Amino acid sequence: EAGVAQSPRYKIIEKRQSVAFWCNPISGHATLYWYQQILGQGPKLLIQFQNNGVVDDSQLPKDRFSAERLKGVDSTLKIQPAKLEDSAVYLCASSFHRAPGTDTQYFGPGTRLTVL
Amino acid sequence: DQQVKQNSPSLSVQEGRISILNCDYTNSMFDYFLWYKKYPAEGPTFLISISSIKDKNEDGRFTVFLNKSAKHLSLHIVPSQPGDSAVYFCAASSGGGADGLTFGKGTHLIIQP
């Protein structure tokens, strides 16, 4: 079974530029998550999709971050304009969303963003 | 306000011995707990989970213990192997795991030969 795919793996941009990340979840997984992991911290949830609808985006800085999951499969996360503090690894995860107590999130390799 | 805390940034254990990683949480709504292992330049890999209706879950060399009254969980690795050297993250969720995860800062486990 193929895992969660993400691209690009690395991205370097200057502040005020825009950037987009792509995620392809595990086949059949209804739920997709984007996390931001700053160096030395644990991942922090940015947004959660159930199929193509947003379940939770309470921690997404909506003035500069946006995300979409068209057709309930692939997803893109965009930052426009980027700030220095956006330097982090952006992780995508997916889960099957079965019965409560059994849902496990599987993570992709992440995209390391450096903002100069 | 850290809802999931891993108070040991690093832990060094001799090969063959038991590794014990600890995690504390503050949010009473958490009902599903997971441990992830992370190697450099890779995403977190799922290791083991436990629902709040249980107090122990075992999978091979890995056992997770949950003490709900103390809001504490621990991961035991027996015996520890060199390949276990990695950063371990404790994570918690409400809604039976359907909600987004709240992570601790991680513990870097180093297995000494």
**Can you give the pLDDT of all 116 residues of chain A as single tens digits?**
689 999 999 999 999 999 999 999 999 898 999 999 999 999 999 999 988 899 899 999 999 999 999 888 999 999 999 999 999 999 999 998 766 556 788 999 999 999 99
Inter-chain touch A108–B43, beta carbons under 8 Å: yes
Q: Report the candidate in B58, B51, B15, B91 with the shortest Cα–Cα distance to residue A102.
A: B51
Show residues of chain B in contact with A99, CB under 8 Å.
96
Which of B21, B103, B107, B108 to probe by mutation at the A interface, max A CB count within 10 Å?
B103
List the single residue in B with minimal CA-CA distance to A39: B105
Residues in B whose CB is inside 8 Å of some CB of A read: 4, 31-32, 34, 36, 41-46, 49, 51, 53, 89, 91, 93, 95-106
* Average pLDDT, integer, range B6-23: 97
Q: Please tell me the distance from the alpha carbon of residue B17 to that of residue B31, in angstroms, as a whole number.
A: 30
Show residues of chain B in contact with A33, CB under 8 Å.
100-101
Nearest CA-CA distance, residue A109 and chain B, Å = 4
* E strand residue ranges, chain A: 5-7, 10-13, 19-24, 31-37, 44-50, 53-56, 65-68, 75-79, 88-95, 106-107, 111-115
Is A43 within 8 Å of chain B by CB?
Answer: yes
B73 vs A1, higher pLDDT:
B73
B95 pLDDT band (50/70/90 cuts)? confident
List the single residue in B with minimal CA-CA distance to A91: B43
Cα B99 to Cα A31, A66, A110, A113, B74: the distances in Å are 10, 20, 20, 26, 22
Pair type for strands A19-24 and A5-7: antiparallel
